[in-house]
Amino acid sequence: GVVLDPWHLVQEIAAIREKGVSITPESLMIAENTPLILPIHGELDRAREEAASKGTKIGTTGRGIGPAYEDKVGRRAVRVADLADEATLVARVDRALQHHDPLRRGLGIEAVDRDALIAQLKEIAPQILPYAGPVWKVLLEARRAGKRILFEGAQGALLDIDFGTYPFVTSSNVIAGQAATGVGLGPGAIDYVLGIVKAYTTRVGEGPFPTELHDADGERLGTRGHEFGTVTGRKRRCGWFDACLVRQTCATSGMNGIALTKLDVLDGFETLRICVGYDLDGARLDHLPMAAEAQARCVPVYEELPGWAQSTEGARSWADLPAEAIKYVRRVEELIGCPVALLSTSPEREDTILVTDPFAD
């Protein structure tokens, strides 16, 4: 399940078409029940973040995603299907503004121009509705026809609204189980879950990060890994591999295997460290506690492994890797309790060591 900014989508479609890629209702479908991100959501998102006191900022992208999900749960969202009927659209907008206008007054923002918002939605509707359809039904028919279906998560699992580092999370569920509820297929339809994990740890925005490095090693990881946020371009925070977090995520997402990426970024480190637990006020933990205040006090417990001087960049077989790199990968598998299915050694798609094919019958 997602929320959709229709104006941004139209811009993306145009940009892709300029590159010679055809986008049609046959190649792109939008679920009819998708809630829309409206301009008022972005305005509210940014105003609340600016008004937040130090220590309470979430690190939002300011795109309006959180407020759009709030409207979804509050049953006042405008959904894609609503664009097809003017009376319904007006009723949905009016219901939303009953909530938003008082909020805006409290934040010192002027009231929403109702008529202008409705006009914006009516104008964008013809560009969105051709793509609208019953996605659940299309996927069900594809599955019955024996076709293979790939679901891709958009955010890190520790940003999950329930199992992430709350409140420094996104506004929806992003662990693997959401793939089923988000598209309308049962959980039994998913037969392989592949977790995408870097050979070190990163985070964008605010929130706890036990293994974060504030030294030359952290800078080195960020520089070599080109660690900047995909949406905002913000510099990512970097740290050593956190086996506790990954093991926890493998459990909450029911992972069958992981794709371990950016192994080449670790080339040249004399010593590597892996977090194997946390110290919390003298107690040893093997998982990250749920309370934000306790998370912030967790001190990582490290295990050190020898690094390697030889380059792993471009390696496409185990034979191409130095022994220390293989030991590092194997130790990661042991600590997280999940096998490495794919190992990536450069940004190039071909530079991958395939251990287990997720699509194999």
The answer to whether 178 and 193 are in contact (CB under 8 A) is no
The answer to whether 17 and 75 are in contact (CB under 8 A) is no
* Cα–Cα dist 130/141, whole Å: 20
Of 109, 133, 157, the one marking the end of a domain is: 133
Peptide bond into 167 cis (omega under 30): yes
**How many domains are contained in the chain?**
2
Any idea what the CATH number is for the domain that residue 313 is in? 3.90.170.10
Sheet holding 340-344, edge to edge: 194-198, 257-261, 340-344, 352-354
Q: Is residue 325 part of a domain?
A: yes
Same domain as 223, residue 345: yes
Q: Is residue 179 part of a domain?
A: no
Q: Is residue 123 part of a domain?
A: yes
Same domain as 204, residue 79: no
Print pLDDT tens along the chain (361 aa): 799 999 999 999 999 999 999 999 999 999 999 999 999 999 999 998 888 765 566 667 789 999 999 999 999 999 999 999 999 999 999 999 999 999 999 999 999 999 999 999 999 999 999 999 999 999 999 999 999 999 999 889 999 999 999 999 999 999 999 999 999 999 999 999 999 999 999 998 889 999 999 999 999 999 999 998 766 677 899 999 999 999 999 999 999 999 999 999 999 999 999 999 999 999 999 999 999 999 999 999 999 999 999 999 999 999 999 999 999 999 999 999 999 999 999 999 999 999 999 888 7
Q: Is residue 169 part of a domain?
A: no
Of 82, 101, 133, the one marking the end of a domain is: 133
Residue among 238, 261, 263, 257 at smallest CA distance from 357: 257
The answer to whether 236 and 144 are in contact (CB under 8 A) is no
* Cα–Cα dist 274/331, whole Å: 9
Same domain as 343, residue 266: yes
Q: Is residue 159 part of a domain?
A: no
Q: Can you point out the beta strands (E) in the chain?
A: 30-31, 132-133, 194-198, 201-203, 237-239, 241-242, 257-261, 271-280, 283-285, 299-306, 340-344, 352-354
Any idea what the CATH number is for the domain that residue 101 is in? 1.10.300.10
Residue among 121, 137, 298 at smallest CA distance from 211: 298
Q: Give me the domain span that covers residue 88.
A: 6-133
* Cα–Cα dist 217/265, whole Å: 11
Cβ-in-10-Å burial (0-12, 13-18, 19+) of 140 comes to: middle
pTM for this model (two decimals): 0.89
Of 133, 156, 171, the one marking the end of a domain is: 133
